[in-house]
Amino acid sequence: MIPLKDDNPTNSKPIVSYSIIGICIVVFFLELSSPGYRTGELFFSYGLIPSVLIGSVQLPDDVYAVPASVTIFTSMFMHGGFMHLIGNMLYMWIFADNIEDGLGRTKFIIFYLLSGLGAAMSQVFVDINSQVPMVGASGAIGGVLGAYLINYPNARVLVLIPLGFFSQLIRIRALYVLGFWFILQFINSYFSSSTGGGVAYAAHIGGFVSGIILILILNKKKRRKVNKKIKGPWEY
């Protein structure tokens, strides 16, 4: 099931969402131009490595580029290959605009980074001794998907069901599209091994859950502000 677009218009241009997509694309092409991309050294320098973050392992001086805590955020804008980048940016393009529209640009930036932080910490927690670099925006985007599920569960999403000659385009509720994505992360994580790299499914799950928690908090605060503005007829 591959989402292609949603039928959920916005009231403002998603400048931040488009900017994040642009930054990720520019960073990826900068990666390709670096000799460290082919050797993998670049990912050790700027990717998040759980064992380095907690201090049990230190990077060699010729690989060290930024403090380990900073790699939580640098890793969010890096990708390991074209398909990795395209897959993440597709989900960002489809679902992030509505979350940004609802939260506003400043709050969306904070939301996005905190979702990425939650995703990173989830991966560190389940694989604390890993020396494999983690890169990609999918953890933070997982937060966007979690928020979308809460705020727009009934929005219609156009998806491609890839069945060879029998492939179909259908519109289904976001609840089913994103619910299916979330369940798939659990299934894939069960059958995956972190020892040789691959996909950081714990980060996907952690980002998704972080997004749900954050949007519920922000929605509650928003409702409180609205309630304070509503006055009875005796308060003129």
Residue pLDDT, tens place only, 15-55: 999 999 999 999 999 999 998 888 889 999 999 999 999 98
Its sign, for the CA torsion 22, 132, 37, 41, is positive
pTM of the predicted model, to two decimals?
0.88
Q: Tokens 């928003």 label which residue?
A: 222
Give domain status of residue 159, yes or no: yes
Whole-number Cα distances in Å, 181 to 91, 178, 225: 11, 5, 33
What is the DSSP-derived secondary structure letter of residue 34? S
Structural domain contains residue 158: yes
Domain span at residue 150 reads 2-224
Evaluate whether residue 229 is within a structural domain. Answer: no
Question: 168 Cβ partners below 8 Å, 6+ apart?
Answer: 160, 161
- Residue 67 covered by a domain: yes
Residue 98 belongs to some domain of the structure: yes
Our count of domains for the chain comes to 1
Q: What is the pLDDT of residues 155-178, one digit of tens each?
A: 999 999 988 778 889 999 999 999
Can you give the CATH number for the domain in which 186 is found? 1.20.1540.10
In a domain, 235, yes or no: no
106 within some domain = yes
Asked if residue 167 is part of any domain, the answer here is yes
Dist CA 106 CA 120 (whole Å): 21
The DSSP letter of residue 164 is: G
The per-residue pLDDT string of the chain (236 residues; one tens digit each, 9 = 90 and over) reads 899 999 999 999 999 999 999 999 999 999 999 988 888 899 999 999 999 999 888 988 888 989 999 999 999 999 999 999 999 999 999 999 999 999 999 999 999 999 999 999 999 999 899 999 999 999 999 999 999 999 999 999 999 998 877 888 999 999 999 999 999 998 888 777 555 556 888 999 999 999 999 999 998 877 666 555 545 455 44
Using CA atoms, how far residue 164 sits from 2, 148, 181, in Å, is 13, 30, 21
Closest CA to 47 of 73, 21, 24: 73
